[in-house]
Chain A
Amino acid sequence: MRIEQDVTRGAAIEISVDGIALAAFDGETIATAMLSQGMAMFRRDARGRPRGLFCNMGTCGECMVTLTAENRRVRACVTDAQNGMDIATDG
């Protein structure tokens, strides 16, 4: 869900999360792109249950994802989506 009226967006871009193509806009975070399209699970816990992000402001570390090109773990909530980015949630 995105606000559609009276809003100026960056250019349309596309990222890939776990092989699924997600439409996003320049200036949005990876977490925003995921959540806007219903991808709320960022990992599974030790008991196999789905876990989402918690604080969405860079503090809790619950939204770590892997940028596969650099094999680098980042916080999805404070990392801007960039066109063509390939992301894995399970690192």
Chain B
Amino acid sequence: MSKTDVLIIGGGLIGCATALHLARAGASVRLVEAGDINAGASGQNAGSLHFQMERRFLENGAALADQAARIIALNRLAIDEWRGLEVDLGVDLHVSQKGGLMVAETPEQVALLEAKSRREISGGLATQLLDGDAARALCPALGPDVLAASYLADEGHADPRALTPAFAHAAAEAGAVISTRQHVLSITRRSPGGFDVAAKKGDEMETLQADQIFVAAGAWTPAVCALANLHIPLFPVALLMNATERTGPILPQLIQHVGRRLSMKQAYAGNVIIGGGWPSRLAQRPDGGFDLNARASIIPLSRSGNLRAAIDIVPQIGALNLIRSWTGVTTISADQLPIAGAVSRVPGFYVAAGGSAFTLGPTFARLIARVMGGERVEALDVLSPDRFNHLNSFMG
């Protein structure tokens, strides 16, 4: 039997970072993780620190782009968060914020960049539009097909293998109790408040009692929330990442593409990491539905398409060996924005998941911890789970 102020379910970036902030604020914190720390999307992603509006928000029309613009304020908070992280955690996370270029190859894409940049500047994000030559002056590896680029000096990349373990370590130092390989089996509401959670580690059952529950379980979040009789409309998405062999320094910046699926950066060790949202194939359960506990498989056309896009933008990539491709599973919400905040249908129940959470995860964690401490945090309003309240009208 464990009794804490807060129980966090999920040992990824957001869960571990929130554990740290809550423990530092004086709360007693228990974190349970069904697998291992950083085993999901937090450690599988390609490590981009992207603060320009994402391409997926632009390709689906103006309504979604307007919604995405509201996340710009969060991006600005995230820029500051990342600038302070290595000092705060006392760990080398290979954070590099030497700028990011979102490139365009066609006049239509240049128009998209212009529209995007206008939105960003009105939101206080200092993107600069560069013509092809100016972009190549900043990043000489860019090929001749780059017509224009929008540049944001704060973008870059960091090491996803290092960040979450660093948060977990700091959280434990601050007093949070973290257990791995422990599965949550049930969540029961207590009267007048709080929760009883049954968890199992090996053959051992444990009851975890907490005043507040925070679910940050990535793609597993809907299943965990189902234990509390709640719908959280997040859908699993399997993506592809690739790494080339190491090479000398060729890419100081993060490279993204406004009209094609591409993100690319050179990691600290010299490997070029190539991704950008190419689909992989989720494993299927024999009885129907997706199997999140089995690895997603690579779609060969995704890999060739991703590498083609990389070579079109940085031709030197074509001379490098591909040494690894891997898949990772993240989630996307019904309206594409992450979900982060209190589920007001069930007092004391909080949730955060839904993508973009390497770049934004440390910020979500900081803000969620404040919300759980009783503060009103306007910056999170746009991500509130309550925008899907209608799904829980008959739940809870």
Interface size on B, residues (CB 8 A): 9
B323 proximal to A (CB < 8 A): yes
User: B267 CB to closest chain A CB, in angstroms?
Assistant: 10
The residue that A73 contacts in the complex, of B245, B268, B270, with Cβ under 8 A, is: B245
Interface string of B322-342 (1 = CB under 8 A from A): 011000000000000000000
Complex Cα gap A66–B246 (Å): 12
Task: Tell me the bound Cα distance from A46 to B324 in angstroms.
Answer: 20
Q: Is B344 an interface residue (CB 8 A)?
A: no
Distance between B379 CB and nearest chain A CB, rounded to angstroms: 37
Interface residues on A, range: under 10
Q: A61-B245, A64-B245 are in contact. Are A46 and B321 (CB under 8 A)?
A: no
Closest to A74 in B: B321
- Asked whether A61 lies within 8 Å of B269 as measured between CB atoms, the reply is no
Task: Tell me if A4 is interfacial: C-beta within 8 Å of chain B.
Answer: no
Residue numbers in B under 8 Å from A46 (CB-CB): 268-270
Residues of B contacting A: mostly: loop
Would you call B269 and A64 a contact (CB within 8 A)?
no
A45 within 8 A of B: yes
Contact B270 A61 (CB under 8 A): no
In the bound assembly, the distance between CA atoms of A74 and B245 in angstroms comes to 10
Nearest B residue (CB) for A58: B323
Return the CB mask of A56-80 against B: 1 if under 8 Å, else 0.
0000110010000000011000000
Give the distance in Å from the alpha carbon of A53 to the alpha carbon of B186 in the complex. 46
Say how far B142's CB is from chain A's closest CB, in angstroms.
Answer: 23
Q: Is the CB of B269 within 8 A of A45?
A: yes
Instruction: Tell me the chain B residues, 267-287 only, with Cβ under 8 Å from chain A.
Output: 268-270
Closest to A73 in B: B321
A74 to B323, CA, bound (A): 10
Chain B residue numbers with a CB within 8 Å of A60 are 323
Question: When chains A and B are docked, how far (Å) is the Cα of A43 from the Cα of B270?
Answer: 13
By the criterion CB–CB under 8 Å, are B323 and A61 in contact?
Answer: yes
CB nearest neighbor in A for B245: A64
Q: What's the least CB distance linking B244 to chain A, in Å?
A: 9
CA distance A73 to B268 in the complex (A): 20
Chain A residues near B (Cβ < 8 Å) = 43, 45-46, 60-61, 64, 73-74
18 contacts between A and B (CB under 8 A): A43-B246, A45-B269, A46-B268, A46-B269, A46-B270, A60-B323, A61-B245, A61-B321, A61-B323, A61-B324, A64-B245, A64-B246, A64-B321, A64-B323, A73-B245, A73-B320, A73-B321, A74-B321
On B, residues with C-beta under 8 Å from A are 245-246, 268-270, 320-321, 323-324
Q: Can you name 13 extra interface pairs (CB under 8 A) apart from A61-B321, A64-B245? A: A43-B246, A45-B269, A46-B268, A46-B269, A46-B270, A60-B323, A61-B323, A61-B324, A64-B246, A64-B321, A73-B245, A73-B320, A73-B321
Closest 6 CB pairs of A and B: A61-B323, A64-B245, A73-B321, A61-B245, A73-B245, A46-B269
